[in-house]
Chains A and B, each alone.
Chain A
Amino acid sequence: GAVVSQHPSRVICKSGTSVKIECRSLDFQATTMFWYRQFPKQSLMLMATSNEGSKATYEQGVEKDKFLINHASLTLSTLTVTSAHPEDSSFYICSARERGWGSGYTFGSGTRLTVV
């Protein structure tokens, strides 16, 4: 089945620094990838839709200058949290949709970001 690899699984960074999270589709091409944020005991909140070769589409209320998304190839999307602050601490999850398979979405294993 489709596999999405997300790295790193856990990162601790200092306030003011930037952190990059990678999301790779291992055995399929994904023209579209999605980035979610999840707070403890809450559901997933869609942050943005990453489109290969074009600009990402951000959900309302998500700062595009703070959460930079790059989808440079059909198998890789990256999310960079710029100038991170403690309130950015959260669980970030990516997902990808395999072409030609209904509406199936495969999720990465998530990245727990802690900003100190």
Chain B
Amino acid sequence: QKEVEQDPGPLSVPEGAIVSLNCTYSNSAFQYFMWYRQYSRKGPELLMYTYSSGNKEDGRFTAQVDKSSKYISLFIRDSQPSDSATYLCALPGGANNLFFGTGTRLTVIP
């Protein structure tokens, strides 16, 4: 079983739609939860990180963690064409390792 599972998509939505991106994980010991955004042929950039369960909001982005279900989500409100990218969830495990989901490719259509 993979440490982190993520639906690879692709996901296409019209501009202005609410986008929901999700990951599940297997190890209940994970404490930090991150979302990275990766544009084509670029390195990932940290979008949000959360610690423990609950919601965290940053502008149009909301990260949600449900540790009881081992389920994390990223919501994007009022999606824009510039949000078109691949979104990866990532969970630090131990001192050095970062477990990535496969990434969900999102396209926001103008």
Q: Does A107 contact B (CB under 8 A)?
A: yes
Q: Does B18 contact A (CB under 8 A)?
A: no
A residues with CB within 8 A of B: 4, 6, 32, 34, 41-44, 46, 49, 57, 91, 93, 95, 102-110, 112
B residues with CB within 8 A of A: 8, 32, 34, 36, 41-46, 49, 51, 88, 90, 92, 96-98, 100-103, 105
For residue B10, which residue of chain A has the nearest CB?
A41
In the complex, what residues of A have CB within 8 A of residue B49's CB? 102-104
In angstroms, Cα B43 to Cα A43, docked, is: 11
In the complex, are the beta carbons of B101 and A93 less than 8 A apart?
no
In the complex, are the beta carbons of A104 and B46 less than 8 A apart?
yes
In the complex, are the beta carbons of B41 and A91 less than 8 A apart?
yes
Of A32, A57, A103, A107, which one neighbours B44 at CB under 8 angstroms? A107
Of B8, B32, B51, B88, which one neighbours A44 at CB under 8 angstroms? B88
In the complex, are the beta carbons of B96 and A43 less than 8 A apart?
no
In the complex, are the beta carbons of A105 and B100 less than 8 A apart?
no
For residue A4, which residue of chain B has the nearest CB?
B43
**If the complex has contacts A34-B96, A104-B46, A105-B46, are A112 and B102 also in contact, measured as CB distance less than 8 A?**
no
Which 8 residue pairs across A and B have the least CB separation, nearest first? A107-B43, A103-B92, A43-B102, A110-B43, A43-B100, A109-B43, A107-B44, A103-B32
In the complex, are the beta carbons of B43 and A102 less than 8 A apart?
no
In the complex, are the beta carbons of B42 and A43 less than 8 A apart?
no
